[in-house]
């Protein structure tokens, strides 16, 4: 049996909803439902109690989830062991979509200028909690996380990077001229946003509550899971977005978008560079780390791990 079926059950129980689990796994709800149905037919027991709005495991489901977690942990230990046996240099880097769009292209260009023979590069875009989970499972060597909540990073080496600023943006055609905007003006616009579990959405939710408002105060909320589609919709004057400044910097510089901040909002969120403590830091990784910090005009950090040759 493919482990993806077990992962889907675990995520569904964790989320309490097939649709939320599907979003987290980047699959359609129907695909997630088919996986659960396959497991139930395979084991011959119902695994989810569907009698209430929040899905909960049946007794059989709880047993399968418990054992599935053990199996997946063994699988990750196996993959980690096999990766350690591989003498070929590799880099597995994970970041949030915002960092990937705004900074990764220039970082990769800088890195490849001095590492043209490096051919095992893997890049992943995930939400902050999924980045941390991937680091714990040894799927990633390095990561950059923009986060608005306290994350449990004590298992890793961490280094602060400059904060990421979250701002409202609009096209000039909407006529919102003020840089410090009245929230009553903004909520009358159509808001383009990512899904509810996205860090930017969580950050906006928290800010709205902090000033005594609710995200549902916006006239209409359109959900796109693709940042490029959100940016294009705002450029076309179809609404506004609450988005990372660095992602839309070129459009702001060209005057195609306007910046709006709200009094009482916290607009900055933390950005952290994370290194897996189980990964030996060879010269390839050190070069990549240098490129990340160079993108912010910072010197490379001192990473406390053995540096091996290429």
pLDDT digits 0-9 by tens, 236-245: 999 999 999 9
Q: Name the segment(s) of the chain with CATH classification 3.40.190.10.
A: 88-163+270-308, 164-268
CA distances (Å), 97 to each of 42, 176, 226, in order?
A: 36, 27, 9
Whole-number Å distance between alpha carbons of 116 and 127: 30
**If you compute the radius of gyration of the chain from its CA atoms, what whole number of angstroms results?**
22
Do 55 and 49 contact (CB within 8 A), yes or no? yes
Residues of the chain with CATH 1.10.10.10: 3-83
What phi and psi, each to the nearest 5 degrees, are found at residue 118? -70, 120
Residue 309 above 50 pLDDT? no
Q: What are phi and psi of 258, to 5 degrees?
A: -115, 150
Q: Where are the alpha helices (DSSP H) in 115-169?
A: 128-136
Query: What's the CA gap between 158 and 142, in Å, rounded?
Result: 10
Architecture field, domain 3-83: Orthogonal Bundle (1.10)
Of 148 and 18, more confident: 18
pLDDT tens per residue, range 38-93: 999 999 999 999 998 899 999 999 999 999 999 888 877 776 666 666 556 578 99
**pLDDT score for 145:** 93
- In contact, 133 and 167? CB cutoff 8 Å: no
pLDDT over 90 for what percent of the chain?
58
Question: What average pLDDT does the chain have?
Answer: 88
d(CA 285, CA 310): 10
For residue 307, what pLDDT is reported? 38
The rounded distance, in Å, linking the Cα atoms of 293 and 299 is: 6
Give residue-wise pLDDT tens across range 247-283: 999 999 999 999 999 999 999 999 999 998 877 788 8
Q: Which alpha helices (DSSP H) does 137-282 contain, by range?
A: 183-186, 199-210, 227-235, 249-253
* 117 pLDDT tier (thresholds 50, 70, 90): confident
Structure confidence at residue 150 (pLDDT): 67
Q: What's residue 139's pLDDT?
A: 84
Classify domain 88-163+270-308 by CATH number: 3.40.190.10
Strands 240-244, 157-170: pairing kind: antiparallel
> Given this model, what pLDDT does residue 16 score?
92
Per-residue pLDDT band for 30 (boundaries 50, 70, 90) equals confident
Closest CA to 43 of 30, 62, 28: 62
**The CATH fold of domain 164-268:** D-Maltodextrin-Binding Protein; domain 2 (3.40.190)
């Amino acid at each position: 049996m493919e482990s993806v079926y077990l992962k889907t059950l675990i995520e569904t129980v964790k989320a309490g909803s097939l649709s939320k689990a599907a979003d987290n796994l980047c699959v359609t709800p129907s695909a997630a439902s088919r996986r659960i149905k396959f497991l139930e037919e395979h084991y011959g027991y119902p695994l989810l109690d569907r009698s209430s709005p929040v899905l909960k495991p049946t007794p059989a489901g709880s047993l399968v989830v418990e054992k599935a977690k053990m199996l997946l942990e063994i699988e990750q230990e196996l993959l980690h062991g096999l990766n350690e046996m591989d003498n070929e240099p590799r880099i597995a880097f994970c970041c949030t979509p915002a960092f990937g769009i705004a900074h990764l292209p220039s970082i990769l260009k800088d890195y490849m200028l001095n590492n043209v023979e490096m051919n095992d590069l893997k890049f992943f875009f995930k939400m902050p909690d999924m980045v941390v989970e991937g680091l714990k499972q040894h799927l990633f060597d390095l990561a950059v996380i923009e986060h608005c909540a306290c994350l449990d990073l004590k298992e890793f080496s961490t280094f602060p990077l400059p904060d990421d600023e979250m701002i409202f943006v609009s096209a000039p055609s909407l006529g919102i001229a003020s840089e410090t905007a009245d929230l009553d003006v903004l909520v009358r616009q159509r808001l383009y946003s990512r899904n509810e579990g996205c860090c930017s959405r969580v950050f906006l939710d928290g800010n709205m509550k902090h000033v005594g408002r609710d995200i549902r105060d916006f006239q209409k909320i359109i959900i796109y899971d693709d940042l490029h589609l959100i940016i294009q919709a705002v450029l076309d004057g179809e609404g506004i977005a609450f988005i990372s400044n660095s992602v839309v910097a070129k459009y702001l510089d060209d005057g195609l978008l306007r910046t709006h901040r709200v009094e009482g909002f916290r607009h900055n969120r933390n950005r952290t560079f994370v290194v897996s403590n189980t990964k030996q830091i060879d010269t390839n990784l050190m070069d990549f780390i240098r490129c990340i910090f160079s993108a912010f005009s910072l010197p490379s950090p001192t990473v406390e791990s053995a540096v091996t040759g290429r």
